[in-house]
Amino acid sequence: MFALSGTMARLSWPEVRFEFRPLTWALRLVQVLAAYMLALHIYAGVLILIDPPATAVMAERGLQGETILYHPADLEDISPNLVRAVIAAEDTRFCQHNGVDLDAMSEAVADWRGGKSLRGASTISQQTAKNVFFWNGGGLPRKVGDAWMGLTIDTVWGKRRVMETYLNVAEWGDGLFGAEAAARNRFGKRATDLTEWEAAYLAAVLPSPNKWRVDPPGPYVRSRAATIHARMGVVRRDGLDACVLG
């Protein structure tokens, strides 16, 4: 026990000054971004040899209470029909571009300037980069990251590895990730045994797998699957899948 006598001493707090220096903070931001991108490139190098153990979207779905089913498969164990279906549905110039389709981007901008709604122009490489390295949402900064890492993996991995990874981490709704999990749970078979029509239906729901259904498909999904099925013949005829199946 002790007592204070006389006038109570005033407590003095150390003075804290915050000085905003734009150049200093800009340099720090550049350093953080550089370190982050370096980490992504190192991870991309590791993924040449192993399958992604998980993705941010898988983690998000798990936190929402979904049971995640993820069974990575070698490209040789996935039906060529599904390769052709996703090329037909998502990226017909997959074998021609280097990860980013500048022609598709120009067409999308031209349509937008002409009064149409702005549509996506992401390649399969960019979608793979988004699924593996980033997350849903994020706006323009994430899209820039998609493009950069799409270029990177297209160059470092090559087309076959990009396609293999894409088919292994793509989301097919209800916690299903990858072609093997989707084939087993939607059609009761292995991914290597998917028919042309089954592949077309799986590709048809890729843009919105938690909204559009394969079992049973609604009118829109049936119509979209029919369009994709017809395009698959063009993909095969014109060799648009040659960089993967050739």
Q: What is the CATH number of the domain that holds 122?
A: 1.10.3810.10
- How far is the C-alpha of 189 from the C-alpha of 194, rounded, in Å? 7
pLDDT of residue 125: 97
84 lies in the same domain as 58: yes
pLDDT of residue 136: 80
For 177, the enclosing helix (H) or strand (E) is strand 176-177
- How far is the C-alpha of 160 from the C-alpha of 231, rounded, in Å? 21
- How far is the C-alpha of 172 from the C-alpha of 183, rounded, in Å? 10
Residue 109 covered by a domain = yes
- Return the half-sphere exposure (C-beta side, CA atoms, 13 A cut-off) of residue 15: 2
Query: Could you give the number of structural domains in the chain?
Result: 2
pLDDT of residue 245: 97
pLDDT of residue 100: 93
Q: 36: Cβ–Cβ under 8 A, 6 or more apart, which residues? A: none
25 lies in the same domain as 141: no
Residue 221 covered by a domain = yes
27 lies in the same domain as 136: no
- pTM (predicted TM-score): 0.85
pLDDT of residue 18: 58
pLDDT of residue 167: 98
List, in sequence order, the alpha helices (H) in the chain: 22-46, 56-63, 80-90, 102-113, 124-133, 139-156, 159-169, 179-187, 196-204, 219-237, 242-245
pLDDT of residue 24: 79
Residue 177 sits in which domain range? Answer: 54-245
Q: Which residues pair with 177 in a beta bridge?
A: 70, 171
Give the chain's residues under pLDDT 50.
Answer: 1-6, 8
143 lies in the same domain as 229: yes
SS3 at position 120? coil
pLDDT of residue 104: 72
- How far is the C-alpha of 5 from the C-alpha of 175, rounded, in Å? 70
Residue 14 covered by a domain = no
15-45, pLDDT tens digit by residue? 656 566 777 778 888 888 889 889 999 999 9
Residue 85 covered by a domain = yes
Q: Are 215 and 222 in contact (CB under 8 A)?
A: no
138 lies in the same domain as 160: yes
135-151, pLDDT tens digit by residue? 887 777 888 899 999 99
pLDDT of residue 34: 87
115 lies in the same domain as 40: no
Q: Which two tokens stand for residue 64?
A: 């929402």
Residue 11 covered by a domain = no
58 lies in the same domain as 103: yes
